[in-house]
Every structure is written in structure tokens, then in C-alpha cells.
Amino acid sequence: MSNQIEKIIGPRAPRGLEDHERRQFHLPNILLGIAAILLLASMFFPYWKMTLKAPQYPGGLSIEVYVNRMTGDVREIDGLNHYIGMRPLGEAAELERAVSLVAVAILVLLVLAAIFIHSPWALLLAVPAILWPFIFIGDMYYWMRHFGLNLDPTAPLSSSIKPFVPPILGSGMVGQFETVATFQIGLWMAFLAVALILAGLFYQRRAYKPLVESGQ
Amino acid sequence: MLVTALMILAALAVLIVSCRDNAGQSSTGAQVAGATEDINAIAEARGLTPTDIANAVKTYTPSGRHDEYYLFASGGQSGQVYVIGLPSMRIIKQIAVFTPEPWQGYGYGEQGTMDVLAQGGTAANGNPLTWGDTHHPALSETGGDYDGQFLFINDKANARLAVIDLRDFETKQLVKNPITLSDHGGTFSTPNTEWIIEGGQYAMPLGFEYSSIANYETDYQGMITFWHFDRDKGRIDPEASFAIELPPYWQDLCDSGKLVSDGWVFCNSINTEMATGGVELGNPPFESGASQNDMDLMHVINLKKAAEVAAAGNTTDINNFPVITLDTAIAEGLLYFIPEPKSPHGVDVTPDGEFIVIAGKLDPHVTVYSFDKIMAAIETGTSDTDQFGVPILDFDAVMEAQVELGLGPLHTQFDNKGYAYTSLFLDSAVARWSLGGSFDELNDDPPWTLVTKTPVQYNIGHLVTAEGDTVSPDGTYLVSMNKWAVDRFMPVGPLLPQNFQLLDISAPGANMPVLYDLPIPDGEPHYAQIIKADKISPWDVYPEVGWNPHTQAVNPDAAKQGEERIVRDGNNVEVYMTAIRSHFTPERVEIREGDHVTWHITNIERALDATHGFTIPAYNIHVSIEPGEAVTFEFDATQNGVFSYYCTEFCSALHLEMMGYMLVEPSDSASAATD
């Protein structure tokens, strides 16, 4: 049993190494640590933004989506959306937004845990964090599609604006509005975290695999 | 034969006219150096000279670009205030003040505006006063400079004052003077807007009592009122205000001292002759009776000390308003007179507070008095008094300079280059003249000298320069407020608009051209003030939904989204309604004839410019509900039937659909239903 646990935890870095030898064991820790910090920090930055441009809104209208909230001209966009029968944005992804802070915190803890697991199991711990930005995008797409395709057929403009799926990235048109959707810094931080996790795991494996193979 | 001769004559006339047109220009006509052929072609097609093009370039403000200055002009008999952008001279808004105004929903049912108008008092027949004669706007000041927070204006006709809040450009308060028949010398602000000065004009018996005109010299009095402004509340506080009784001369314009002369107030007067008219009886008419003396009397008032006297309660209550009697004013040294040339007009204090400029009106000079010399003369004392015992200071002892400008000098303003500008009514011109004292070094012209005159069209009354009555004028633009337009605009029948002309005063010396004419279509404005645009920061929309502009706070009882309802309590019905593009909630209001209806509407929009109007036409109700604003109006459902209400401000593509039905059930069928 303890053998089994040891196998999961993996080997420890040998003691008494020269500085240059120790570096290879520190590098994955640093990469995973930075990834965890990035992920944590990303919660405070917007992940996604949509700007709506129309003649009568010289400054445009915009909505910024964070992992747990929406900011910007939500009220005005909701007001306009009622003409085409779209539900208020606040009704979208309510569950996701409610649990997102805890979920991201768990992802961060799992990544931090992977620092101490020097076996292929570390990858398993990191998988949720690696999938996180893709889950976010997928969920956004699901809700955009759900909202866009389920317009109230009795809305004032339902005859002129048919159900549609707004593009999750890039530009589209709804009525007189040009919509421009972009990924924001929070999402890019999450992507960077993914890259750092993958690199960290790669260097971790490279550092510890020889120890496993040498039978320590 | 005759036809041929006429044609030749016509051709000659064209030749002569075109030669004359070309005389003042370069041989290439209206060519503008460096301009593209297109511009020259347009100029030629429109008959524009290079000067015209230069003027156009100085004033043209491209679509979407904002102006450099706000100009707040009195609206004269319209009873309102104009807001105009400079240098484009575009009218941006008219602020409803003394006169009900439907677009802004001012006085057409909305409770707050009805209350404000009611503060203005009633006419002799008991009906509300529904117009005003606005004359002199005054921006609030801090340290003698405009601070862009409030605007005050008077109504000469009924001696009233208004307070406008520049966060939303709406009138918040009217104050009716309880002891003055009419006012002209208002409004003027002290350098920190503790006091708003309102000089009464036509003398009258104290307390609106009756007294025969034969008793004019004994029973009629003049009056200057000092209204205390409570900046935190944004209201004039009548409880903390007072007036000073004066001889029955007609006090005219005033100005507040500033810097060295802070705490003093200067007012001029006409009719020190105390003429009482009666041209129909063979007496000299007022116009000559009041113009007999070579000198009238400038009033010099120690406001700082007067405020102390009033605060100490050394006053007499007239119509429940504290008045410092003339005897007290004399005894306490609050009031001095200084001779001023014949029936003068404006009295204006220089930016450093040192000189007081009186424009002669019937005398071709401006007369400049030194504040230092006035203080010295008061210190020295005088034995000369008028018949009421008010001390008269020696003219020669306090006069600094007299500058001959031309005919009919009226009002003076200042710039930052040591020049003063005076309107010349009879000459129809603006005079630029150089100041002395500390201003002498600011330009190359000798002190107290006429520099140049620019003709204006026509009969200029007031003029106003950019921040020209503050401690730091800008010296950029001047607006000539002309009483007659005569031939300046397309004919519109016998009643002509007034003409505002923009002058460029940025260059020193003789160059002071007229740039642009703006017709004013619904009143004869008097004074105006020009403030740098960045000093005013109005709200885009009301700060929060449910806002009451009359308390400048959220009304907790305002109709809220999701809580719209109709509540009945006996015959009292309360409607709680919200408005958002493009519907009112509720859209059906069913009431009974004889109900008393109190109707609240909140505009729950947050978008800039998403204003909704609301009307129940048959009940003469019209309100404007700006984003965030909550309004209330009341009426008795006296007429049964079916009525539509609708949004009157085009708000959206579905604006026409933004309506509802008010169904008023006849009282007999209502009682039948309940039986």
C-alpha cells in the first residue's frame, strides 16, 4: 500500500546536489507555481468582451465577462435585446457564475498539488486546469447559442431578426449593430497558465523520470 | 426702344456693382491663398470675401465638435434663459424659468415644477404668474471666478429671482420679493456667492400699501435686497436675507465689489429728480422729468457691515421681511452717494476690484471711480447730503478718469489685455478703451484712452466678454446683444428677432471684427455671461433611477421596475408606472369618474438621451422624464371616457407603440356596478 502511494507521489529530488544540478528540479516547480498564480489572478480580469457598435451609440456598448460576473452596459444591452426577444443576460450561466470562484480555486490547488507529485499522476491533477479555458469558451458558446436560438417569437422585431448564434470571436451583425467579440486578458492568462503547466509537467517528467528508471 | 435702354442701364449697373465689389479685393477676387480650387469656387459662387471666409473659419464648429464656451443669456419677455455655444453661436437649450414650457414638462402637471412656479407667486387676480422679464443672469462664483455650479436670474416684471442648478440645467427655486414692485439691478453675485443682489427699480410705498402719487417723496421708497444663498442646499434662504430702504430714486444696475472692494456693492440710479410723470396733465413726461439733473447718484453700500446690522436684528419687518431703514443705514454708515453723470446705465467693477466704471447713457463718457479714493473720502467724511440725509461724497475727490467714447454708452466688460469694452447704444458700436492703474502695462496704448470702435447692427444694449466680469477675464470673444436687427435677417413681418453678434477681441489695438450674427427668436435678451466650457460638468443622466430633480436625491416612493401597480383608496387612486423603450407599465389604467388620481412615472433608462415624454392630452398634462428621473402629477378625473396616453419624445423605432389607455368609467355606471 505504501509502495502504491510512493509510486503515485513519485521520487523526491536527491539531496546535496550542486546548484546547476538542482535547477532542473526547481524549474517545473516554478513553472507550475506561476501557472497557479496566473490562474488565480485571472479571476480578477475579464475573460471575454463583446462590443456593439451602432450610429446612435458613438462610444459603442460593451459587455465584459469575468468568470463570476458581467460588467459594462448590461442594462442597456438587455433593454435592446428585449426587442428581439432575447432573455436578460443575467439569466445566462447563473450556476457557472455562482460556483466559478470556488471551482477556479480548486483548479489552482490541484496545480499546486501537482508540484509535489513527481509521477505521471501529476498530469491528472493538472488536467482540469489545462481544460479550464476551453471549458469557459465552450460554456460561453453554449449560452450564446442557447440565447440566440431561443428568442421569444412574440417579440417586436421577431419578424425581422431571426434566431442566430452570435460569433464568440470576431465580428457579426445584429440589426444595425456590428458585434465584435474578443478574448480578454483573463482568458489569455488562463491560456498562458495552460502552456506553463504543460511545460512544467514536461520538465518535471524529464527531471524525475531518470530517478524512477534508475530505481530510486 | 425703352426696353433696350433699360437693358443697357441694367448691364451698366451690374458692371458698376461688380467693379465696386472687386475694389476692396485682390485682382483674383475671393481667392484664399493656399486654399484649394474647390474652396475658392464655393466662395465665388456664394459671393464670400476673404474676410467672410476668415470669419467662417473662426466660428465654424464641425459636426460633433463641442464649443469652447457656454453663453447664458437672459430670454427677456420669454421669461427663460438661453444656453448658446461659442464660437459657433449655436443655441443648445432654452431653460424654462418663469414661464411654463411644455418640452421640459415645466408647469404642465409635474408636481415639482408646479411647486417651483407656485413659489413665484400669483397675479392680482389670484392666478399664477405665467411669464417673466428675465434680465441679468449671474453665475455662481468662488473667489470672484465662475465656478459653474449655479445660475441666478431676475424677473424685472414682478421682482423675482430664480435659482438654476447647472448639474441638470433646471430651475430649482423661484423667490418673489415681498417688498419690491419691480427689479432691474439683479442678479449680481458677490465673489463667493454668499449674497445675490436684487436692486428694485420703480419706487413704491412700503409694503405694497396704497399712497397717492402726490406723496411720492414722503411715502415712496427704493429698495435693494440682499438674498443669502445657501450653497449646500442649492437654495436662496429668505430667512437669512434682508433689504435696505433707499430714497425713492430709481435704483438701476448694481455690481458687487471684488478683491480690494470685496464687501461693497455699487448701484447707480436714475430719476434722482423724483419726477412723477403725468404727461397727460401737462407735466413733463418721465423721460424728460427724470433727465433734468446733470448728475444722478451712485449708491455705495457697505454690504459686509449691512449684513452685520441685519444679523444683529437692527431691522424693521415689512411684509415679514427684515429691512434696514434708511435712517439706520445712514446712522450705521452703510450708504454713501457719489455724483454720476446724468441718467447713467451700467456700473461695472474692474477685474482687480479697484475701479468702478459708470457708463453715461446720456453722457458720452464713461466715468471711472477709484475704490481707494472712495474709501479715503468716506474716511475724511462729508457734510454734503441729499434731502434724505444720505452723505454725498465729493465727485472730484473720488473720480479717477473720464473717457469720451461716443453716444449712448451703456455697459462695460473687460479682457486680459488691459482693455475695457463699452456698448454704445446710439452709435451702434462697441468701444474698446484702455484702462489705467495696474492695467496700464498690459498693452501699448496710453491709459484711459479710446482705442477703437467696431460698428454693430444695431442699437446694442448689453455686451458680454468671455468671463469678462470676473477677476480673470479671458479676452477671447465678445457678444454684442443688439436690440434691433433691422435688415440683418430675412423679413418675418413687423416683429423682428434680436441680433446677437460675435466679435473677436483676441487681437490688441484696432482689430476687433464682427464674426457672426445669431437671431434670437422669442424674447429680447438683456445681459448674458460667458463661461469656459470645462467649468461646467452636467450629469449625462440622473445619478440613480428614481431621482427627484427637486430634491436632487432618490425618491424612495418612486415607481420601481417590477413594482408597477395601481392602488385605490376610496376615491384616491395612485398609479405607479415605469417607462422604458418602448412601453409604459401599466398600459391600461382603469379608473372612475370623480377619482383623484396621483400618477408617478419613473424613467428606468440609463442610456444617454433616452428621454420619454408623457401626456394625457385631454387633461392638459405633459411631462418630460429624463433617464433616471421620477415624476409625479395629480388630477381629478372629471371627464369620463377613453383616453390615450403616449410617449411624446421620439425614443425608439417602436415609439408610436409606446402608449396606453386610460379608461375613465362614468360615475353613474360605476355606482350601478357597485350597487
Phi, psi of B520 (to 5 degrees): -110, 115
Taking only the tens place, the pLDDT of each residue in A142-166 is 999 999 999 999 999 988 888 999 8
What percentage of residues in chain B have a pLDDT greater than 70? 94
Q: Is pLDDT above 60 for B558?
A: yes
List, in sequence order, every beta strand (DSSP E) within A20-148: 48-54, 57-65, 70-72
CB B174 within 8 A of CB B160: yes
Best interface-test mutation with A: which of B578, B603, B604, B606 has the largest number of A CBs within 10 A? B606
What percentage of residues in chain A have a pLDDT greater than 70? 99
CB A65 within 8 A of CB A77: no
Q: What is the pLDDT of residue B667?
A: 87
**Count of pairs with CB atoms under 8 A, one residue in A, one in B:** 13
- Per-residue pLDDT band for B45 (boundaries 50, 70, 90) equals very high
CB contact under 8 Å between B605 and A79, yes or no, is: yes
Q: Is pLDDT above 80 for B3?
A: no
- Per-residue pLDDT band for A22 (boundaries 50, 70, 90) equals confident
Set of chain A residues whose Cβ sits within 8 Å of the Cβ of B579:
none
CB contact under 8 Å between A79 and B581, yes or no, is: yes
Set of chain A residues whose Cβ sits within 8 Å of the Cβ of B582:
83, 156
Taking only the tens place, the pLDDT of each residue in B359-370 is 988 899 999 999
Taking the C-alpha atoms of residue B324 and residue B303, their distance in angstroms, rounded to an integer, is 12
Closest alpha carbon within chain B to A77? B607
CB contact under 8 Å between B581 and A75, yes or no, is: no
Average pLDDT over residues B413-419: 98
Q: Is pLDDT above 70 for B31?
A: no
First to last CA, chain B: 97
What is the arrangement of strands in the sheet containing B399-404, beginning at the earlier edge strand? B347-349, B355-359, B365-370, B399-404
Average pLDDT over residues B307-312: 98
Set of chain B residues whose Cβ sits within 8 Å of the Cβ of A79:
580-581, 605, 607
Q: Look up residue B101 and give its three cell numbers.
A: 414650457
CB B120 within 8 A of CB B160: yes
Instruction: Of B17-21, B183-187, B594-598, give the lowest mean pLDDT range.
Output: B17-21
Q: What is the pLDDT of residue A158?
A: 87
Q: What is the pLDDT of residue B16?
A: 43
Average pLDDT over residues B664-674: 69
Taking only the tens place, the pLDDT of each residue in A64-98 is 999 999 999 999 999 999 999 999 999 999 999 99
The C-alpha of B416 sits at a distance from chain A's nearest C-alpha, in angstroms, of 38
> ipTM higher than 0.95?
no
CB contact under 8 Å between A75 and B580, yes or no, is: no
Q: Is pLDDT above 60 for A216?
A: no
Q: Is pLDDT above 60 for A43?
A: yes
Taking only the tens place, the pLDDT of each residue in B182-217 is 999 989 999 999 999 999 999 999 999 999 999 999
Q: What is the pLDDT of residue B428?
A: 97
Q: What is the pLDDT of residue B33?
A: 64
Q: What is the pLDDT of residue B375?
A: 98
- Per-residue pLDDT band for B577 (boundaries 50, 70, 90) equals very high
Taking only the tens place, the pLDDT of each residue in B447-456 is 999 999 999 9
Q: What is the pLDDT of residue B584?
A: 98
Q: Is pLDDT above 60 for B332?
A: yes
Set of chain A residues whose Cβ sits within 8 Å of the Cβ of B611:
none
List, in sequence order, every beta strand (DSSP E) within B130-176: 138-142, 145-155, 160-165, 170-176
> CB-side exposure of B432: number of CA atoms within 13 Å?
28
Q: Is B183 helix (H, G, I), strand (E, B) or coil?
A: strand
CB B82 within 8 A of CB B72: yes
Q: What is the pLDDT of residue B6?
A: 44
Q: What is the pLDDT of residue B668?
A: 78
Q: What is the pLDDT of residue A65?
A: 96
Taking only the tens place, the pLDDT of each residue in B54-93 is 999 999 999 999 999 999 999 999 999 999 999 999 999 9
- Per-residue pLDDT band for B342 (boundaries 50, 70, 90) equals confident
Q: What is the pLDDT of residue B361?
A: 87
Q: Is pLDDT above 60 for B671?
A: no
Taking only the tens place, the pLDDT of each residue in B455-509 is 999 999 999 999 999 999 999 999 999 999 999 999 999 999 999 999 999 999 9
Instruction: Of A87-91, B435-439, B522-526, B667-671, give the lowest mean pLDDT range.
Output: B667-671
Average pLDDT over residues B425-432: 97
Taking the C-alpha atoms of residue B359 and residue B621, their distance in angstroms, rounded to an integer, is 48
Taking only the tens place, the pLDDT of each residue in A105-128 is 999 999 999 999 998 899 999 999
Taking the C-alpha atoms of residue B547 and residue B630, their distance in angstroms, rounded to an integer, is 5
The C-alpha of B546 sits at a distance from chain A's nearest C-alpha, in angstroms, of 16
Closest alpha carbon within chain B to A61? B607
**By a Cβ cutoff of 8 Å, what residues of chain A touch chain B?**
75-76, 79, 83, 156
Secondary structure letter of residue B55 according to DSSP: H
Q: Is B110 helix (H, G, I), strand (E, B) or coil?
A: coil
Q: Is pLDDT above 60 for B664?
A: yes
Q: What is the pLDDT of residue A13?
A: 84
Closest alpha carbon within chain A to B605? A76
Write down all domains in chain B, each with its CATH number in brackets.
69-97+132-535 (2.130.10.10), 547-674 (2.60.40.420)
CB contact under 8 Å between B607 and A79, yes or no, is: yes
